[in-house]
Amino acid sequence: MIKLITASERHQANVGDWLSSHYLFSFADYYDPANVQYGPLRVFNDDHMQAKSELPAHPHAEMEVLTIVLDGEIMHKDSLGNEEKLQSGQVQRITAGTGITHSLVNEGDQTAHFYQLWFLPNKKGLAPSYELMKIDFMDNKDQLTPLVTGQKVLEDVVFMNSNSTVYFGNVSQGKDIDFKTFKIRKTLLYVTEGSLLVNNIELDKNDQIRLEDFDIISIHGAANASFILIDVPALEVNY
């Protein structure tokens, strides 16, 4: 099964002047019973946070919360005592577990662009925890760079409590990347820049494609392009 969702079909959030956000799944004021989650992937928000703005402290529980910073920087503070600046090329994971609060502030003079992804964890009741890592994924050419995984132990990869892996991909025009998967898993691909052919289907910037029941996902650079690829189990996690 293949489902193409174009950029114009994403939900444009009505948050305020401080944040421009598009929701790929049901979130906040947007609800679609046919688009609640994808395996354990529950949230994928494409966020642009304006300079000198703040998301005040707010709670999370029973969720793996990932932040992937593409441009600019944001200051993170949480109830565990962590206080760190997230910059372009960094990846953060919060295991909300039994409960955590955190805030985000853009103290800089430019808009911060980041993705926030939420995954339902493998089990409930985990102790809250936090990890931030600098990963050189922005400039890696013609490859997939793993950012976060709970499937296997890899060096220089953020850990999460989900049987899933998040990759960042760069592909040059005319080049190909094959992603090997299994028919018991699902793949979501979201284009950050440029254009791709994914299993011979054309995707442009901010388009997404969801694929099930494949052994190989074929990615061809129709132009120089970057993208997020998320590999998840087909079985949904529900609490």
CATH 3.50.50.60 fits 2-233, yes or no: no
Q: How far apart are CA 116 and CA 92, in angstroms?
A: 10
Are β-strands 225-233 and 165-171 bridged in parallel, bridged antiparallel, or unpaired?
A: antiparallel
pLDDT in tens, 88-118: 999 999 999 999 999 999 999 999 999 999 9
Q: How far apart are CA 228 and CA 108, in angstroms?
A: 25
Residue 221's closest CA among 143, 106, 161? 143
> What is the value of pTM for the model shown?
0.95
- Is residue 74 within 8 Å of 51, Cβ to Cβ? no
Q: How far apart are CA 107 and CA 151, in angstroms?
A: 35
Give the start-to-end residue ranges of the domains of the chain: 2-233
pLDDT in tens, 165-221: 999 999 999 999 999 999 999 999 999 999 999 999 999 999 999 999 999 999 999
**Which single residue is written with the structure tokens 């220089």?**
156
pLDDT in tens, 133-165: 999 898 889 999 999 999 876 778 999 999 999
